[in-house]
Amino acid sequence: FSLLHLPSPLHRLSVLERKMSGEAETVQVVNDFKSWLEKYEQGAVAVAAIHALTTLIKKSNASTIMELEIHLKNAQEQLLNVKYVGERSKMIQLSAACELFARHVTRTALDIGDFDQCKRKLIERGEKFAKQADLSRTVISGNALRFFTDGMSILVHGYSNVVMHCLTNAAKHGLRFKVIVSEGQPERDGYKTARVLKEAGVPVDVVLDTSVGFVMSEVDMVLTGAAGVCESGGIVNKIGTYQVSVLAMAAKKPFYVAAESYKFCRLFPLSHSDIPDAEKEPQPSEIEGVNLRLPASDLTPPQNITLLLTDIGVLTPSAVSDELIKLYY
């Protein structure tokens, strides 16, 4: 054993400085993520994450691709623990976006050997991905136009940004239609949908979630969003979406899902209980000794879905696995 093999004080200091720098960068990523969400209230958490991770690469002091990957991995773990409005329903798209970004980093590192060139390419791809994601709702609303006809009635469950883009875009194109929106318990976000549609001049009624079966015969189609699109072609979405799909299927009404491609995730849940964080601990109810269960999400299987309206085209549920392969491989 020789003293020559011991790291010098300067070397130890350099390692410590880089570690502290990486930790500071991780904290900054969380701040950038929160700032973006505050600035763009209707913005997607996936887009906020890509913006924050791309900014980390720009400012990173990492000297190797391995060091950069470690910083990015730590940052992604921190992002998945950030508290923000609607975090439970948006966790799947955030996780999918982080995983897809990590895949881009690995692929770019394999394609480009030079670190500085690799870093520039990652920044370029990150900015391009964020820009495409920003435009995805506009593309989807354009793809959805063909499914609207004058005088039709549409059932919507709760609130979805991409669904609102589809509806307001159709109204701007001069199409006349009526919307029936479910109340969307427990958040009651159906009233948010109703307010936005009223301001856009679209006739709208709100019904109780338990009244969906009663009004199903009045509608021509169901349009819903998705928190995540699974490998099977099924979707994870706001609680109650599954029962709406069952009622639509029984009434032979088309059930369309509007979803951005960054919500495509490598999940294959077989039942509602397989969904990550679908249900938290039961809460005490107003009856002593009786708990109140409040699941946030449910699973709608692919056989209940007519078509998925996405920014990469109108897809059948069976086509989702092929698109996932293209995205990740």
For the cut 50, the answer to whether the pLDDT of residue 2 exceeds it is: no
- Say whether both 47 and 118 belong to one domain: yes
pLDDT at site 13 = 45
Per-residue pLDDT reduced to its tens digit, 40-81: 877 788 889 999 999 999 998 888 888 988 999 999 999 988
Q: CATH no. for residue 198?
A: 3.40.50.10470
| 154 vs 321 pLDDT, higher one | 154
- Say whether both 159 and 297 belong to one domain: yes
Q: What is the mean pLDDT of the segment spanning 103-111?
A: 82
Q: How many CA atoms lie within 13 A of 164 on its CB side?
A: 19
In whole angstroms, give the CA distance from residue 281 to residue 287: 17
- Say whether both 195 and 93 belong to one domain: no
- Say whether both 114 and 152 belong to one domain: no
- Say whether both 37 and 126 belong to one domain: yes
Query: What whole-number percentage of the chain has pLDDT above 90?
Result: 53
**Residue at a domain's end among 114, 135, 156:** 135
281 pLDDT band, cuts 50/70/90, is confident
For the cut 50, the answer to whether the pLDDT of residue 191 exceeds it is: yes
Does residue 276 contact residue 91 with C-beta atoms inside 8 Å? yes
In a domain, residue 308? The reply is yes
Please provide the distance, in angstroms rounded to a whole number, between the alpha carbons at the two ends of the chain. Answer: 47
Does residue 184 contact residue 238 with C-beta atoms inside 8 Å? yes
Does residue 288 contact residue 255 with C-beta atoms inside 8 Å? no
Q: CATH no. for residue 93?
A: 1.20.120
Residues 6+ apart with CB under 8 A from 285: 291, 292
- Say whether both 164 and 25 belong to one domain: no
- Say whether both 131 and 95 belong to one domain: yes
Closest by CA to 261, choosing from 75, 108, 46, 89, is 46
Q: Is 302 helix (H, G, I), strand (E, B) or coil?
A: helix
- Say whether both 250 and 290 belong to one domain: yes
Per-residue pLDDT reduced to its tens digit, 129-186: 888 888 999 999 999 999 999 999 999 999 999 999 999 999 999 999 999 999 999 8
In a domain, residue 311? The reply is yes
- Say whether both 131 and 162 belong to one domain: no
Query: Tokens representing 103?
Result: 């895949």
- Say whether both 213 and 152 belong to one domain: yes
Does residue 239 contact residue 295 with C-beta atoms inside 8 Å? yes
In whole angstroms, give the CA distance from residue 209 to residue 224: 14
In a domain, residue 141? The reply is no
Q: What is the mean pLDDT of the segment spanning 9-14?
A: 50
Q: Is 185 helix (H, G, I), strand (E, B) or coil?
A: coil
Give me the number of domains the chain comprises.
2
23 pLDDT band, cuts 50/70/90, is low
**Residue at a domain's end among 108, 135, 162:** 135
In whole angstroms, give the CA distance from residue 67 to residue 73: 10
In whole angstroms, give the CA distance from residue 190 to residue 183: 4
Per-residue pLDDT reduced to its tens digit, 109-121: 878 878 889 999 9
Does residue 209 contact residue 197 with C-beta atoms inside 8 Å? no
Query: Tokens representing 106?
Result: 């690995």
In a domain, residue 109? The reply is yes
Domain that holds residue 121: 3-135
**Residue at a domain's end among 105, 135, 165:** 135
In a domain, residue 143? The reply is no
- Say whether both 237 and 185 belong to one domain: yes
Q: Is 216 helix (H, G, I), strand (E, B) or coil?
A: helix
